[in-house]
């Protein structure tokens, strides 16, 4: 292994690496080869307690600093992340299997964007002044929530650690972050960098473990807010546990998003959207447009050209920059995807391309294209979280809108058309939190990101995220004598 992927210790608490070998050991596997690249211990109750105690103690000091000072730390952390982008991208590739052609532009860089953006906002987070009759007035104070818990999925370990940490810290909160047990390595680097950039010890902590560790964090009375990126079933459990204690939540969950291609669309552009929305990160993206509705007039042309362009995918060593498709991130996910492909065939979808496991070490599967998919098929209803693109066809706008929205999910949705008014009418009708016109799957830090319906609660990124990591205190000031009826 040319890079040392074994972390100094499993957890990062109160400004330093911490180990507790009593915690259950788990192996970190490089998905491209199946090799064990590191071992970490799950957090014991003592480790969880240590992390929360550090975060609770540090929060007072951190919140007492000016927004300008906090922002400076975050912006310095962004600079360090960018300087180390290459090494962080290599680690992200080892952790997830995603190719370097992606990780060098979408992971540490996206994390750095979040740190820079929220670092820039930190100094401008203010309350307001509300004048009232008789000279009385109200002012509001925008305050930190306290100790926030972040729980991550395995597809974007660096990005998720930063998307949660940056707005939380900008507002004066501290964080205990639990990465996915599948990808435990990258968040440790985020913690290291924040402390190096000047965050006081305890401001950002990382503990490892499975769902049970996450659950113990969620229910701890010291925690005031929980932000989860994960599946809908986990989201329902975590939301319920947080609600029982009246905690704030952000839920970034799964999807089965529609992408509608009308027959007047720029077909190459629409195919690019379908490729970006189904095969980026080997399909392991929550906002993927996995139900591609293509209007009947262009269906066969669309399928033929899409299959042709899929032939240009470079499936291979993720460390090579020309590679565009890496492995699945885990054996478990590979098996899940294979199961869905089998279901697609069984239920009568037409396999146009791919569909097979690639026989080599690691967790490889071909990018797969199904046509003639109908709304009732399993592959059109359930989130697959793999490189499986389902093309459904339609006749009219009215019909496709009803079908596009007929899902419990509501994360994202996209439309490809040259008709300006139709484009805006369609996005207005989408039951989805994040919509795209003539593009797909972008998530710049400046724009709110999140879902409706079962896909989530709250928004990450943009100024919106500030509302989810702070609360407003109202202060009524009387300039007059206080009066009472008796």
Active site residues: 252
Sign of the C-alpha dihedral computed for residues 198, 113, 461 and 249 taken in this order? negative
From residue 410 to residue 449, the character string flagging contacts with ligand NAD as x (rule: CB under 6 A) and all else as - is -x--------------------------------------
Nearer to ligand NAD (CB atom), residue 197 or residue 454: 454
CB of 247 vs ligand NAD, minimal distance in Å: 12
Contact of 372 with 349, CB cutoff 8 Å: yes
The answer to whether 381 contacts ligand NAD (rule: CB under 6 A) is: no
Rounded distance between C-alpha atoms, residue 103 and residue 110, angstroms? 10
Interface residue with ligand NAD, options 23, 146, 202, 214 (CB under 6 A)? 214
CB of 343 vs ligand NAD, minimal distance in Å: 18
CB of 163 vs ligand NAD, minimal distance in Å: 8
The answer to whether 113 contacts ligand NAD (rule: CB under 6 A) is: no
The answer to whether 174 contacts ligand NAD (rule: CB under 6 A) is: no
State the CB neighbour count (10 A cutoff) for residue 9. 17
Interface residue with ligand NAD, options 33, 140, 231, 405 (CB under 6 A)? 231
Nearer to ligand NAD (CB atom), residue 37 or residue 242: 242
The answer to whether 234 contacts ligand NAD (rule: CB under 6 A) is: yes
The answer to whether 152 contacts ligand NAD (rule: CB under 6 A) is: yes
Choices 94-102, 193-201, 209-217, 367-375; region in contact with ligand NAD by CB under 6 A: 209-217
| Cα separations in angstroms, 218 against 17, 246, 300, 406, 457 | 22, 11, 49, 32, 16
CB of 386 vs ligand NAD, minimal distance in Å: 11
Nearer to ligand NAD (CB atom), residue 93 or residue 461: 461
The answer to whether 175 contacts ligand NAD (rule: CB under 6 A) is: no
Q: Which of residues 453-482 bind ligand NAD (CB under 6 A)?
A: 456
Nearer to ligand NAD (CB atom), residue 41 or residue 353: 41
The answer to whether 250 contacts ligand NAD (rule: CB under 6 A) is: no
Interface residue with ligand NAD, options 180, 205, 407, 417 (CB under 6 A)? 180
Choices 42-50, 70-78, 212-220, 391-399; region in contact with ligand NAD by CB under 6 A: 212-220
Q: Which residues lie closer than 8 Å to 307 by C-beta, 6 or more apart?
A: 352, 353, 369
The answer to whether 181 contacts ligand NAD (rule: CB under 6 A) is: yes
Contact of 11 with 22, CB cutoff 8 Å: no
Choices 62-70, 174-182, 265-273, 362-370; region in contact with ligand NAD by CB under 6 A: 174-182
Nearer to ligand NAD (CB atom), residue 338 or residue 397: 338
The answer to whether 329 contacts ligand NAD (rule: CB under 6 A) is: no
The answer to whether 286 contacts ligand NAD (rule: CB under 6 A) is: yes
State the CB neighbour count (10 A cutoff) for residue 459. 21
Nearer to ligand NAD (CB atom), residue 319 or residue 336: 336
Nearer to ligand NAD (CB atom), residue 228 or residue 423: 228
CB of 300 vs ligand NAD, minimal distance in Å: 31
Q: Which residue of this chain has its Cβ atom nearest to ligand NAD in the complex?
A: 214
Closest among 155, 101, 210 to 385, alpha carbons compared: 155
The answer to whether 319 contacts ligand NAD (rule: CB under 6 A) is: no
How many chain residues interact with ligand NAD (CB under 6 A)? Answer: 30
The answer to whether 340 contacts ligand NAD (rule: CB under 6 A) is: no
Residue 399 CA, chain-centre distance (Å), reads 31
Contact of 357 with 386, CB cutoff 8 Å: no
- Residues engaged in binding ligand NAD (CB under 6 A): 151-155, 178, 180-181, 210-211, 214-215, 218, 228-231, 234, 237-238, 252-255, 286, 383, 385, 411, 451, 456
């Amino acid at each position: 292994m040319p890079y040392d992927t074994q972390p100094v210790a499993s957890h990062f608490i109160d400004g330093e690496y911490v180990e507790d070998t009593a915690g259950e050991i788990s192996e970190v596997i490089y998905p491209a080869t199946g090799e064990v690249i590191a071992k970490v211990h799950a957090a014991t109750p003592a480790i969880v307690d240590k992390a929360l105690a550090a975060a609770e103690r540090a929060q007072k000091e951190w919140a007492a600093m000016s927004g300008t000072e906090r922002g400076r730390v975050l912006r310095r952390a962004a600079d360090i992340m960018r300087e180390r982008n290459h090494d962080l991208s290599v680690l992200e590739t080892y952790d997830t299997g995603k190719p370097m052609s992606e990780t060098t532009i979408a992971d540490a860089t996206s994390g750095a964007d979040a740190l820079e953006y929220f670092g820039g906002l930190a100094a401008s987070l203010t309350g307001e002044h509300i004048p009232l009759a008789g000279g009385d007035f109200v002012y509001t104070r925008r305050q930190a929530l306290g100790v926030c818990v972040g729980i991550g999925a395995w597809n974007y370990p660096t990005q998720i650690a930063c998307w949660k940490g940056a707005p939380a810290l900008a507002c004066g909160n501290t964080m205990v972050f639990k990465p996915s047990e599948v990808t435990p390595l990258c968040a440790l680097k985020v913690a290291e960098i924040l402390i190096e950039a000047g965050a006081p010890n305890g401001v950002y902590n990382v503990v490892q473990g499975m769902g049970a560790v996450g659950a113990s964090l969620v229910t701890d009375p010291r925690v005031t807010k929980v932000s989860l990126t994960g599946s809908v079933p986990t989201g329902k459990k975590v939301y319920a546990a947080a609600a029982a204690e009246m905690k704030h939540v952000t839920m970034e969950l799964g999807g089965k998003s529609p992408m509608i291609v009308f027959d007047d669309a720029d077909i190459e552009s629409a195919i690019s959207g379908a490729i970006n929305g189904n095969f980026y990160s080997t399909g392991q993206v929550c906002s993927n447009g996995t139900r591609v509705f293509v209007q009947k007039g262009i269906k066969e042309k669309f399928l033929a050209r899409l299959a042709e362009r899929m032939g240009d995918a470079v499936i291979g060593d993720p460390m090579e920059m020309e590679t565009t498709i890496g492995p699945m991130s885990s054996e478990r996910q590979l098996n899940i995807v294979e199961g869905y492909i089998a279901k697609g065939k069984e239920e009568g979808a037409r396999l146009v391309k791919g569909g097979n496991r690639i026989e080599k070490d690691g967790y490889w599967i071909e990018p797969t294209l199904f046509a003639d998919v109908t709304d009732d098929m399993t592959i059109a209803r359930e989130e697959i979280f793999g490189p499986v693109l389902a093309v459904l066809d339609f006749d009219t706008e009215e019909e496709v809108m009803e079908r596009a929205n007929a899902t419990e999910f509501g994360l994202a949705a996209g439309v490809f058309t040259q008709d300006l008014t139709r484009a805006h009418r369609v996005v207005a009708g989408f039951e989805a939190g994040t919509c795209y016109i003539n593009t797909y799957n972008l998530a710049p830090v400046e724009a709110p990101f999140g879902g409706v319906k079962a896909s989530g609660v709250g928004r990450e990124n943009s100024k919106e995220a500030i509302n989810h990591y702070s609360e407003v205190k109202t202060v009524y000031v009387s300039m007059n004598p206080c009066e009472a009826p008796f």
